[in-house]
A and B are shown apart, each in its own frame.
Chain A
Amino acid sequence: MGSKDITAEVTTLESWDTVISPHAGWFDLHLRDLWRYRDLILLFVRRDFVAQYKQTILGPLWFIIQPLLATVVFTIVFGNIAGLSTDNLPKPLFYLSGQVIWGYFAGSLTATSGTFTANAAIFGKVYFPRLAVPISIVISQLFQFALKFAFLLCFMLYFISRGATVQPSMAVFLLPVLVAIMACLALGLGIIFSSMTTKYRDLRFLLTFGIQLLMYATTAIYPLSSLQGKYRLLILANPMTSIIETFRYAFFGRGTFNLLHLAYSAGFAVVVLFIGIIFFTKIERTFMDTV
Chain B
Amino acid sequence: MSDVVIRVEDLSKRYRLGLIGRTALHEDLSRWWARLRGQPDPTMRLDQLQLLEANKARASELNDDAEHIWALRDLNFEVRQGEVLGIVGKNGAGKSTLLKILSRVTAPTLGSVKVKGRIASLLEVGTGFHPELTGRENTFLNGAILGMSKAEVTSKFDEIVAFAELEKFIDTPVKRYSSGMYVRLAFAVAAHLEPEILVVDEVLAVGDAAFQKKCLGKMKDVAEHGRTVLFVSHNLSAVSSLCPAAILLKNGAVIERGKTENVLETYLAQTSRPRSLLFHAEDSGKEDKLGDHLISLESFRLLGPSDRQTITNGDALRLVARVVVHSPGDFSMCIPVLRAGVVAFYANSYHERDAFSLSTSGTYEFEMTIPPYLLNPGEHEFGVYVSDDRGSGEHHIRVHTALSADIEDDGGRRGGVFHGRWPGAVSPTLNAEVRLLD
Would A288 and B105 count as touching, CB distance under 8 A? Answer: yes
Residues of B within 8 A of A177 (CB): none
Nearest Cβ distance between residue A72 and chain B, in whole angstroms?
Answer: 32
Nearest Cβ distance between residue B191 and chain A, in whole angstroms?
Answer: 15
| Bound complex: CA A45 to CA B228 (Å) | 33
Nearest Cβ distance between residue A11 and chain B, in whole angstroms?
Answer: 7
User: Which of A11, A51, A125, A199 has the most chain B CB within a 10 Å cutoff?
Assistant: A125
Which residue of A has the minimal Cβ distance to B108? A22
| Bound complex: CA A106 to CA B306 (Å) | 82
Binary interface profile of B, 1-21, with partner A (CB < 8 Å = 1, else 0)? 001100100000001100110
Partner of A126, one of B108, B121, B150: B121
A126-B24 contact, Cβ under 8 Å, with A20-B108, A50-B137: no
Partner of A125, one of B7, B115, B116, B123: B123
Would A21 and B112 count as touching, CB distance under 8 A? Answer: yes
| Bound complex: CA A11 to CA B3 (Å) | 9
Instruction: Please report which residues of chain A, range 7-22, place their CB below 8 angstroms from some CB of chain B when the two chains form the complex.
Output: 11, 14-22
A128-B108 contact, Cβ under 8 Å, with A20-B101, A290-B23: no
State whether the Cβ of A200 lies closer than 8 Å to any Cβ in chain B: yes
| Bound complex: CA A69 to CA B100 (Å) | 48
| Bound complex: CA A39 to CA B117 (Å) | 21
Would B25 and A203 count as touching, CB distance under 8 A? Answer: yes
| Bound complex: CA A203 to CA B119 (Å) | 36
Nearest Cβ distance between residue A131 and chain B, in whole angstroms?
Answer: 14
State whether the Cβ of B103 lies closer than 8 Å to any Cβ in chain A: yes
| Bound complex: CA A128 to CA B127 (Å) | 12
State whether the Cβ of B106 lies closer than 8 Å to any Cβ in chain A: yes
A39-B20 contact, Cβ under 8 Å, with A22-B110, A289-B106: no
Residues of A within 8 A of B117 (CB): 17
| Bound complex: CA A91 to CA B236 (Å) | 73
Residues of A within 8 A of B180 (CB): none
Would B144 and A200 count as touching, CB distance under 8 A? Answer: no
Cross-chain pairs A/B with CB under 8 angstroms, 25 sampled: A14-B3, A14-B4, A16-B115, A16-B116, A18-B115, A37-B144, A39-B144, A43-B140, A44-B141, A46-B137, A50-B133, A54-B173, A55-B132, A125-B123, A127-B121, A199-B28, A200-B23, A200-B24, A286-B106, A286-B107, A289-B20, A290-B19, A290-B20, A290-B23, A291-B20
| Bound complex: CA A14 to CA B4 (Å) | 10
| Bound complex: CA A127 to CA B121 (Å) | 8
Interface size class of B (residues with CB under 8 A): 35 or more
Residues of B within 8 A of A289 (CB): 15-16, 19-20, 106
| Bound complex: CA A122 to CA B129 (Å) | 10
User: Which of B105, B118, B149 has the most chain A CB within a 10 Å cutoff?
Assistant: B105
Partner of A47, one of B26, B110, B130, B147: B130
Instruction: Please report which residues of chain B, range 172-206, place their CB below 8 angstroms from some CB of chain A when the two chains form the complex.
Output: 173
Instruction: Please report which residues of chain B, range 83-132, place their CB below 8 angstroms from some CB of chain A when the two chains form the complex.
Output: 100-119, 121, 123-124, 127-128, 130, 132
Nearest Cβ distance between residue B244 and chain A, in whole angstroms?
Answer: 22
| Bound complex: CA A24 to CA B132 (Å) | 37
| Bound complex: CA A36 to CA B130 (Å) | 22
Nearest Cβ distance between residue A291 and chain B, in whole angstroms?
Answer: 8
State whether the Cβ of A40 lies closer than 8 Å to any Cβ in chain B: yes
- Nearest first, the 6 closest Cβ-Cβ pairs linking A and B are A127-B104, A40-B144, A285-B107, A16-B114, A20-B113, A21-B112
Residues of B within 8 A of A20 (CB): 101-102, 104, 107-108, 112-115
Interface class of chain A by DSSP: loop
Would B150 and A14 count as touching, CB distance under 8 A? Answer: no
A285-B116 contact, Cβ under 8 Å, with A39-B149, A202-B24: no
| Bound complex: CA A40 to CA B128 (Å) | 11
User: Which of A18, A23, A123 has the most chain B CB within a 10 Å cutoff?
Assistant: A18
Would A51 and B132 count as touching, CB distance under 8 A? Answer: yes
Nearest Cβ distance between residue B415 and chain A, in whole angstroms?
Answer: 46
Would B118 and A50 count as touching, CB distance under 8 A? Answer: no
| Bound complex: CA A203 to CA B28 (Å) | 13
Which residue of A has the minimal Cβ distance to B9? A21
| Bound complex: CA A210 to CA B133 (Å) | 34
| Bound complex: CA A93 to CA B402 (Å) | 83
State whether the Cβ of B146 lies closer than 8 Å to any Cβ in chain A: yes
Would B26 and A202 count as touching, CB distance under 8 A? Answer: yes
Would B133 and A202 count as touching, CB distance under 8 A? Answer: no
Residues of A within 8 A of B255 (CB): none
Residues of A within 8 A of B100 (CB): 124, 288
Would A18 and B119 count as touching, CB distance under 8 A? Answer: yes
Instruction: Please report which residues of chain A, range 125-171, place their CB below 8 angstroms from some CB of chain B when the two chains form the complex.
Output: 125-128
